[in-house]
């Protein structure tokens, strides 16, 4: 059939072209062309009338969000908590049909920040108010004068921290304030989470999801209906019912050995736990979280001091579960650490405490080395009930310990290295709640409540031929035992070098026989030790590093990965300074060039730290 010009809207030339093409098309080609023209017409109509595509991803100049469902989540994590939350939230948002980009802060290209329209930040605070290592590049860029104006950005921050530290959630607070200074608008207010972060994090996500839903609806001019949000968030699945931080596994204790010799000032426990039936898997660098029990004698003294009934029922969660006050304080609430937020809450029930907390300096000094019994005794005349008492306490947080064994080598067990903490402060003997619980009650046939804490920021190189340098004094050596077990199991060919230190060679050389065996069979290439109390002048691991500075530099130039585990306040800082000194001395670098070298190593995941 020929197209006639007089019966069509086409010109004579257009009709001639169509008459030449159409007869040559197959039936399927004609159908495809028909659909294409229909779609082309619809797009043109939308453009001509000024309607916005519901999947548009830009922001209007006015700052009103279009119906974008593209969203970025940035996380900064030291021990893995922030990353775990970020991954969970990412999956939930994907189920709600958002296009989610999930990125660790150190891998995010800061030049792309001004291109974002929706941003969620999940970040922990490390040490005394410091950003995690993985958050540092993004944090420093955002605080610098190079940070762009972000008037078109909508964001929200979830901050993780520990309220027993003075600068609680400091990194999250600073990022939240800085984004506002740069013109960004909050999707929902920042939430600061303590160690027990599940419930506040869940509430933060719900608030964020509702805000996102409203923005998308407002921009598209449509309403998704009340059921859309509810159905988009998955209910409990079999995955969530597995053993986890919120559903710990009861692990049987197989071995509990004191690694220190007679006469040592220390007590370091080697624990071996059964994982049979847990379905846990882990990698070298991961940790085990242990939920301890508070000392029952301490619990009785607190209850007696506050003149409460140990058998009175009190809540232990928001799901309506109750226990006796005695059991709640023993198993569910933190009573051995004081914090400023706790004192502020407690002051509502004690006039003397109300006056005391007005002095920041007095509060700061008072918190050091004191517990709930001190507080109960030092400020008499309490007017507080059992329910009110547990209402001001935070939930019992788990204690994390680096795994000291390889899953490949021991799939049904996990080994831990735990330094027992005992000391005297303010006229009373004190115990580390978890370490002493493990030391005194952790006998064969007893159980501990545990879960696996992933730490993707402390990993062996993917290439087993890569050389590694491990620096771990005291119990900081634990993950390196797992590293070498793993390297032995997979028959890794890469060189390995361990720096270990403690007080005395005779009594404190942890795992000495194992290091010697690995040195003999070549799994461990080099080992340097420093026993600080065996010489007139104290010698630490950083001193041994300086003695081998040329060889260390050569290893770094060969691509070696460096791992540091242990005390953050002193050891980790000293080791970092020593590495800089080695780079300046052996590499002929300026201090700025040496710092840039280490920063590049961190960016490349060649310099990793698990410090506390």
Write the DSSP string, 173-237. HHHHHHHHHTT-EESS--EEE-S--HHHHHHHHHHHHHHHHHHHHHHHT----HHHHHHHS----
Read off the pLDDT band of 48 (50, 70, 90).
very low
The yes-or-no verdict on residue 47 having pLDDT over 50 is no
Percentages helix, strand, coil for the chain (3-state, rounded to 5) are 45, 20, 35
Read off the pLDDT band of 26 (50, 70, 90).
low
Three-class SS of residue 164?
coil
Q: Which residues pair with 269 in a beta bridge?
A: 258, 418
The yes-or-no verdict on residue 8 having pLDDT over 60 is no
Phi, psi of 345 (to 5 degrees): -65, -40
Query: Tell me, what's the pLDDT at 4?
Result: 55
> What b-and-e string marks burial along 3-23, b requiring 16 or more CB atoms within 10 Å of the CB?
eeeeeeeeeeeebeeeeeeee
Question: Taking the mean position of all CA atoms in its chain, how far away is CA 511?
Answer: 29
Cβ–Cβ under 8 Å, residues 484 and 524: yes
The yes-or-no verdict on residue 52 having pLDDT over 60 is no
Helices 136-143, 591-603: inter-axial angle, 10-degree rounding: 120
The yes-or-no verdict on residue 11 having pLDDT over 90 is no
Least confident segment among 73-82, 351-360, 372-381: 73-82
Query: Tell me, what's the pLDDT at 216?
Result: 80
Query: Tell me, what's the pLDDT at 78?
Result: 81
Distance (Å) of CA 334 to CA 90, 197, 318, 343: 31, 14, 17, 14
Pick the more confident residue, 29 or 606.
Answer: 606
Identity of the highest mean pLDDT range in 7-11, 22-26, 107-111, 414-418: 414-418
Query: Tell me, what's the pLDDT at 114?
Result: 87
Read off the pLDDT band of 3 (50, 70, 90).
low
Tell me the average pLDDT across 95-101.
92
Q: What is the pLDDT of residues 534-583, one digit of tens each?
A: 999 999 999 999 999 999 999 999 999 999 999 988 999 999 999 999 99
* Cα distance between residue 246 and residue 291, in whole Å: 10
Query: Tell me, what's the pLDDT at 54?
Result: 31
Q: What is the pLDDT of residues 206-242, one digit of tens each?
A: 999 999 988 887 776 654 444 333 333 343 334 444 8
Distance (Å) of CA 225 to CA 92, 202, 205: 18, 22, 19
Tell me the average pLDDT across 520-524.
97
Tokens 């059991």 correspond to 327
Query: Tell me, what's the pLDDT at 9?
Result: 59
Query: Tell me, what's the pLDDT at 443?
Result: 73
To the nearest whole number, what is the mean pLDDT of the chain? 87
Least confident segment among 136-145, 321-330, 373-382, 455-464: 136-145
Tokens 């053993």 correspond to 243
Write the DSSP string, 219-279. HHT----HHHHHHHS----GGGGSS-SSS-EEEEEEEEEE-SPTT-S--EEEEEEE-TTT-
Cβ–Cβ under 8 Å, residues 269 and 438: yes
- Residue 45 has which token pair? 């109509």
Which DSSP helix (H) or strand (E) runs through 415? strand 413-419
Query: Tell me, what's the pLDDT at 39?
Result: 44
Query: Tell me, what's the pLDDT at 17?
Result: 66
Tell me the average pLDDT across 100-108.
92
Residues 6+ apart with CB under 8 A from 122: 73, 74, 75, 76, 77, 82, 85, 86, 89, 157, 158, 160
Residues in the chain: 612
Conformational region of residue 586, where left means phi above 0, alpha means psi within -120 to 50, and beta covers everything else:
alpha
Read off the pLDDT band of 164 (50, 70, 90).
confident
Nearest to 513 by CA among 306, 332, 296, 259: 259
Query: Tell me, what's the pLDDT at 320?
Result: 86
Question: Where does residue 91 rank: exposed (0-12), middle (13-18), buried (19+ CB within 10 A)?
Answer: middle
Distance (Å) of CA 607 to CA 138, 168, 245, 541: 17, 26, 28, 17
Cβ–Cβ under 8 Å, residues 229 and 93: no
Beta strands in 77-190, from DSSP E residues, in sequence order: 99-104, 118-124, 154-160, 185-186
The yes-or-no verdict on residue 25 having pLDDT over 50 is yes
Q: Which residues pair with 249 in a beta bridge?
A: 450
Query: Tell me, what's the pLDDT at 42?
Result: 40
Nearest to 570 by CA among 603, 538, 606, 535: 538
Read off the pLDDT band of 284 (50, 70, 90).
very high
Q: What is the pLDDT of residues 491-507, one digit of tens each?
A: 999 999 999 999 999 99
* Cα distance between residue 413 and residue 490, in whole Å: 18
Tell me the average pLDDT across 128-135.
86
Conformational region of residue 225, where left means phi above 0, alpha means psi within -120 to 50, and beta covers everything else:
left
Write the DSSP string, 460-516. --SSTTS-EEEE--GGGGHHHHHHHHHHHHTT--S-EEEEEEES-HHHH-TTHHHHH
* Cα distance between residue 315 and residue 608, in whole Å: 41
């Amino acid at each position: 059939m020929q197209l006639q010009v007089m019966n069509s809207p086409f010109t004579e030339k257009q009709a001639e072209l169509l008459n030449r093409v159409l007869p040559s098309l197959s039936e399927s080609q004609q159908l495809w062309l028909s659909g294409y023209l229909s779609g082309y017409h619809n797009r043109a109509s939308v453009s001509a009338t000024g309607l916005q595509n519901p999947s548009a991803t830009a922001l209007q100049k006015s700052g009103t969000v279009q119906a974008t469902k593209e969203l970025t989540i940035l996380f900064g994590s030291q021990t893995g908590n922030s990353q775990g939350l970020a991954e969970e939230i990412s999956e939930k948002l994907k189920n709600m049909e958002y296009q989610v980009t999930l990125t660790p802060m150190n891998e995010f290209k800061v030049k792309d920040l001004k291109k974002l329209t929706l941003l969620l930040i999940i970040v922990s605070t490390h040490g005394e108010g410091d950003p995690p290592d993985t958050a540092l590049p993004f944090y420093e860029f955002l605080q610098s004068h190079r940070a762009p104006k972000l008037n078109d950005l909508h964001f929200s921050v979830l901050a993780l921290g520990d309220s027993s530290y003075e600068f609680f959630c400091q990194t999250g607070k600073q990022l939240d304030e800085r984004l506002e200074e740069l013109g960004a608008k909050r999707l929902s207010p920042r939430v600061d989470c303590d160690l027990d972060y599940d419930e506040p994090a869940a509430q933060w996500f719900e608030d964020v999801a509702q805000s996102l839903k409203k923005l998308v609806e407002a921009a598209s001019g449509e309403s998704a209906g009340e059921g859309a949000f509810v159905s988009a968030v998955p209910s409990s699945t079999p995955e969530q019912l597995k053993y986890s931080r919120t559903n710990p596994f009861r692990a049987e204790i197989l071995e509990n050995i004191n690694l220190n010799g007679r006469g040592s000032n220390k007590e370091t426990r080697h624990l071996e736990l059964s994982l049979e039936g847990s379905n846990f898997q882990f990698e070298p660098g991961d940790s085990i979280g242990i939920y301890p029990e508070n000392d029952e004698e301490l619990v009785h003294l607190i209850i007696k001091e506050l003149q409460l009934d140990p058998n009175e029922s009190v809540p232990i969660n928001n799901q309506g579960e109750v226990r006796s006050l005695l059991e709640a304080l023993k198993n569910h609430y933190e009573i051995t650490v004081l914090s400023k937020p706790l004192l502020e809450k407690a002051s509502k029930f004690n006039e003397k405490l109300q006056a005391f907390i007005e002095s920041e300096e007095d509060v700061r000094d008072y918190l050091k080395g004191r517990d709930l019994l001190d507080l109960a005794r030092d400020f008499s005349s309490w007017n507080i009930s059992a329910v009110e008492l547990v209402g001001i306490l935070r939930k019992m947080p788990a204690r994390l310990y680096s795994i000291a064994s390889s899953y490949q080598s021991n799939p049904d067990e996990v080994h831990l290295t735990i330094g027992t903490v005992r000391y005297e402060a303010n006229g009373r003997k004190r115990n580390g709640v978890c370490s002493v619980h493990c030391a005194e009650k952790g006998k064969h046939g007893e159980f501990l409540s545990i879960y696996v804490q992933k730490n993707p920021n402390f990993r062996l190189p993917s290439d087993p031929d890569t050389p590694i340098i491990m620096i771990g004094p005291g119990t900081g050596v634990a993950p390196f035992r797992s590293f070498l077990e793993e390297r032995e199991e997979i028959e890794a060919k890469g060189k390995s070098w361990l720096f270990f230190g403690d007080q005395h060679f005779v009594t404190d050389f942890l795992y000495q026989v194992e290091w010697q065996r690995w040195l003999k069979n070549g799994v461990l290439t080099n080992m340097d030790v420093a026993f600080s109390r065996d010489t007139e002048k104290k010698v630490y691991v950083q001193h041994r590093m300086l003695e081998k500075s040329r060889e260390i530099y050569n290893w770094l130039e060969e691509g070696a990965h460096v791992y540091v585990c242990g005390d953050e306040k002193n050891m980790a800082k000293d080791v970092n300074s020593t590495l800089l000194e080695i780079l300046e001395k052996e590499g002929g670098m300026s201090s700025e060039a040496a710092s840039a070298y280490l920063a590049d190593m961190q960016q490349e995941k060649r310099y990793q730290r698990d410090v506390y």
